[in-house]
């Protein structure tokens, strides 16, 4: 849910994705030895399909963000340290290839017809996420003296409470998994 509602791409959840994929393989193997006419088989098959859908939805959401903010994401990713990377190896490869393809096509279709002063400025074409957009959050734990940067005010956030903040203000809490986006 956090990935779906976050303005920026969040760190790739490799351990969780790998664990889910391993469990799906295990569940598929168990289903292969089950009688297909039993109600239990049907329920388990539906659960497997639901989990596959959730995993695919997670990846679709990430790919949509990569396609929308490619240059911004690649720029930020290149400045991050090894332990702070947000893209998986496959996503980084996709983003790089996608960016090269789009730039090549854009150059062939439009850029070569522009004045020379505008042809090499990628920042003009750079799309960045709106960090000032508002998001709803639910606190997973108590947060004492949470600083709201725009007003320089602090508030206490109780566990289980729901609030609306600018994404920019709560991004550190989302990354630390203290709050969840809803």
**Higher local confidence (pLDDT), 10 or 147:** 10
**Weakest mean pLDDT among 24-33, 40-49, 103-112:** 103-112
**Higher local confidence (pLDDT), 150 or 32:** 32
Model pTM above 0.75: yes
Contacts (Cβ under 8 Å, ≥6 apart) of 62: 3, 9, 12, 91
For the chain, the average pLDDT equals 90
- pLDDT number for residue 150: 64
Question: Has residue 58 got a pLDDT over 90?
Answer: yes
Which tokens go with 46?
A: 């539906």
**Rounded mean pLDDT, 49-77:** 96
- pLDDT number for residue 40: 86
Contact indicator for 139, 161 with CB cutoff of 8 Å: yes
Please, which pLDDT band fits residue 139 given cuts at 50, 70 and 90? very high
Please, which pLDDT band fits residue 110 given cuts at 50, 70 and 90? confident
- pLDDT number for residue 154: 84
**Rounded mean pLDDT, 10-33:** 93
Query: What angle separates helix 89-109 from helix 70-79, to the nearest 10 degrees?
Result: 130
- pLDDT number for residue 151: 67
- The string of DSSP letters for 145-179 reads EEEETTTTEEEEE-TT-EEEEEHHHHHHHHHTTSE
- pLDDT number for residue 152: 74
Tell me how far the alpha carbon of residue 149 is from its chain's centroid.
24
Which tokens go with 29?
A: 């193997």
Question: Has residue 11 got a pLDDT over 80?
Answer: yes
Contact indicator for 174, 137 with CB cutoff of 8 Å: yes
Q: What percent of the chain has pLDDT over 70?
A: 97
């Amino acid at each position: 849910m956090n990935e779906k509602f976050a303005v920026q791409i969040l760190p790739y959840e490799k351990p969780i994705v790998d664990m889910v994929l391993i469990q799906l393989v295990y569940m598929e193997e168990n289903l292969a030895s089950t009688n297909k006419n039993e109600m239990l088989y049907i329920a388990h098959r539906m659960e497997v399909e639901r989990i596959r859908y959730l995993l695919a939805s997670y990846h679709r959401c990430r790919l949509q963000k990569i396609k929308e903010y490619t240059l911004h994401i690649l720029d930020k990713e290149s400045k991050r340290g090894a332990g702070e990377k947000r893209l998986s190896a496959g996503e980084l490869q996709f983003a790089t290839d996608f960016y090269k393809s789009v730039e090549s096509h854009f150059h062939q279709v439009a850029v070569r017809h522009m004045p020379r002063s505008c042809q090499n400025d990628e920042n003009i074409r750079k799309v960045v996420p709106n960090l000032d957009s508002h998001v709803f959050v639910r606190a997973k734990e108590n947060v004492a003296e949470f600083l709201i940067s725009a007003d320089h005010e602090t508030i206490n956030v109780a566990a289980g409470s729901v609030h609306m903040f600018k994404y920019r203000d709560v991004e550190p809490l989302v990354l630390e998994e203290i709050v969840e986006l809803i």
